[in-house]
Structure 1
Amino acid sequence: MDSNINYLVRGFKMLREPGIRPFVILPLLVNVLIFGGLMTLGFELIGGGIAAILAWLPEWLSFLSWILWPLAVVLVLAIAMYSFSTLANIIAAPFNGLLAEKVEEKLTGKEVEARESFASALASFPRSIWREVQKLGYYLSFALLVLLLSFIPFISPFSGVLWFLLGAWMLSLEYCDYAMDNRGLSFKESKRRIKAARGSTLPFGIMVMAGTMVPIVNLLIMPAAVCGGTILWVEKLQSGQTTNV
C-alpha cells in the first residue's frame, strides 16, 4: 500500500498495542455515544436533503438526476459526518491529545511532556477547546466559499465532491494537529506543516473521511485517526521541512 495512504491502517493496528489500549477507551466511548446517537438522525435527513437538492436543479439539467443522486448522497454524508466528527473531537480533544502523546512515546521511545495522565488531560480542557474553536473558524471560512460555489450552475452538480474534499482536508488537519499541540506548536505553524506535506496529509484525510461513512468503522475512526496522524507527525511533519510528493 502506498505510504501516503496507509497511515490510517497503521493507526487501526496501533489500537491493539498494550501500552496504547488504555488511552483509547475514553475517545472511543465519546465517539460511540456521539455517532450512535446522531447517525440515526443523519440518515433520516439524507432523503429530505437529496430531494431538496434535486428540486433546486434547473429543469434543463433534469436529465442529470441519475448522476446527482450519488453526488447528493456524498454531499449530505460529508456534511453530516464532518459535523458529527467535529462535535466528538471537541468533547474528546484532551483525551485525543493524551492518546497522541502515548502513541508518540511508543513510536520514538522518548517522553513527551504534555498531558501525562487523564487528570492532567481534564485540566487542559479549556486550552483544548480553544484549539478546536480555531479549527472550527478555519473550517467555516472555507465552508462559506464552498457554499457560495454550490450555487453556481456549472459547479453545483459537483458540490458534493467539494464538500467531501473540504471535510477530508479538515480531518487531516484535526488529527495531525494533536501531536503538534502537545509539542507547543501554534495552530498557524501546525497548518503550515500540514499544508507543506499535503501530498501525504490530504490522502490521510480522505481515508479518514471515507471511514466516517462506513458503519462500525466510524465508531473506531477517531482513536485510529489520532494514532495515524501521530505516525504522520513522527515520520513526516516533525522536521518542519516537508515537501509535496
Structure 2
Amino acid sequence: MKLAKGFGYLLQGAKLLAHPDLRIFVLLPLLVNIIMFAIGLGLLIFFVGGWMDDVVGWLPQWMSGITNLLWFLFAIFFGMAVFFSFNILANFIAAPLNGLLSEKVQQHLTGEDLGQTNFGALLASIPRSVGRELIKLTYYLPRVLLLLIFSFIPIANIIVPWLWLFFAAWMMAIQYVDYPMDNNGTSFRKMKKAVSNERFLHLGFGAGVSILLMVPAVNFFAMPIAVAGATALYVNEHKALQQAQNDLPIIHQ
C-alpha cells in the first residue's frame, strides 16, 4: 500500500541517522529544531489553552454534549498549526544544513558525490537555499490563510482539523522531498509534479512527519529524520526515473 510505503521511508530515515558517517551532519539541524520547537511548545502552552476555553464557551447550548470532542479537535488543529509553523521557520533557518544532510545521505545510499560538501560550497548554497524556501512559502501561505478563514466559519470550522491534517501531510512531503530534488537540480515546479504523480506515497510520508511533530520530545528529531527519509524516498522512487527522462533523445522537428 502506497501510504504505508511512504510512512516506511520515515522509519528508514531514522535508521540512517544512526550511521557513523552521517551523525556529524545531523547535529546542527537538530540543534536548530530543538530551539525552535522549544519556543513553539512554550507558546502553545502559554496562549492556546485559555483561547480554546473561550472558543468552546462561544458554542451554542445544543453543542454542549460534544465539548470534549471539540476540545480534542481544536487541540489537534492548534497543535498542528503551531508546530507546523515553527517547523517551516526551523527549515527556513536550517535550509543549507538540511541540504547538506540530504546530500550526505544520498552519497551514503548511492556512492555518488554531488561535490557540494566543502565549506565554500555550503556558503555559496545559502542564497539558493533561502530562495527555495521563499518559493515554498509562496506555495504554503495562501493555503494556510484559506484554512484559517474556514476556521472562523460556524459549522464549517468543525471539519477544519481534518483538512489541516491532510494539508499538513501534503506540505511536509513538499517540504522535505524538495531537499534532494533541489540538490539534484530539479525545479520546484517539476518537484511538485513528481510528488503529485505519486500522491498517496508522499501523503503517507508526510503524515508520518506530521505525527512526529505532534509527539513531545520526539518532534525535536523530526527534521533530520524527515530529511534523511525524504532522501531515501528520492533515491528509490524518483532518481532513476529522472535520469531516464534526462537520457531520452531530443527529437528535432
Q: With structure 2 as the length reference, what TM-score do the two structures score?
A: 0.88
> Relative to total residues, which structure has the larger helix share, 1 or 2?
2
Q: Is the 8 A contact 1:9 1:228 kept in 2?
A: yes
For residue 113 of structure 2, give the secondary structure of its aligned residue in structure 1: coil
Distance, in Å, in 1 between the alignment partners of 2:238 and 2:215 is 28
* Of 13-22 and 51-60, the range deviating more from structure 2: 51-60
Rg bigger for which structure? 2
Please report how far the alpha carbon of residue 69 of structure 1 lies from its aligned counterpart in structure 2 after TM superposition.
Answer: 0.9
Counterpart for residue 175 of structure 1: 176
Q: Retained in 2: the 8 A contact 1:90–1:132?
A: yes
Superposed, 1:1-245 pairs within 5 Å as 2-113=4-115, 115-238=116-239, 239-240=241-242
Cα distance in 1 for partners of 2:170, 2:55 equals 24
Q: Which runs of 5+ in 1 are unaligned?
A: none
CA-to-aligned-CA distance 1:85-128 (integer Å, 9 cap, x gap):
01110010001001101111111112224x32344223321211
Partners in 1 of 2:106 and 2:23 — Cα distance?
14
Identity %: 42
CA distance in 2, matches of 1:79, 1:140: 12
Deviation at 1:174, TM superposition (A): 0.6
Q: Give the Cα separation in 1 of the matches to 2:89 and 2:227.
A: 15
Count of aligned positions: 240
Partners of 2:61 and 2:131 in 1: CA distance: 46
RMSD after superposition: 1.8
The 1:184–1:56 alpha-carbon spacing in structure 2 relative to 1, beyond 3 Å, is farther
CA-to-aligned-CA distance 1:131-185 (integer Å, 9 cap, x gap): 1111111111211222233334332112112122212211111111000000111
CA shift for structure 1 position 56: 4.1
* Structure 2: gaps of 5 or more residues: 245-253
The verdict on how the C-alpha distance between 1:37 and 1:147 changes in structure 2, with shifts beyond 3 A counting, is closer
Contact 2:213 2:219 in 1 (8 A): yes
3-state SS of paired residue (1:4):
helix
Partners of 2:234 and 2:189 in 1: how far apart?
A: 16
Q: Structure 1 residues 47-56 or 155-164, which shifts more?
A: 47-56
| Aligned-pair CA distance for 1:60 | 3.4
Q: What is the identity, as a one-letter code, of the residue corresponding to 1:96?
A: N
| One-letter amino acid matched to 1:145 | L
Give yes or no for contact 2:173–2:206 (8 Å, CA) kept in 1: yes
TM-score after normalising by structure 1: 0.91
More relative contact order, 1 or 2 (CA 8 Å, 6+ apart): 2
Residues 96 and 226 of structure 1 are in contact (CA less than 8 Å); yes or no, is this contact kept in structure 2? yes
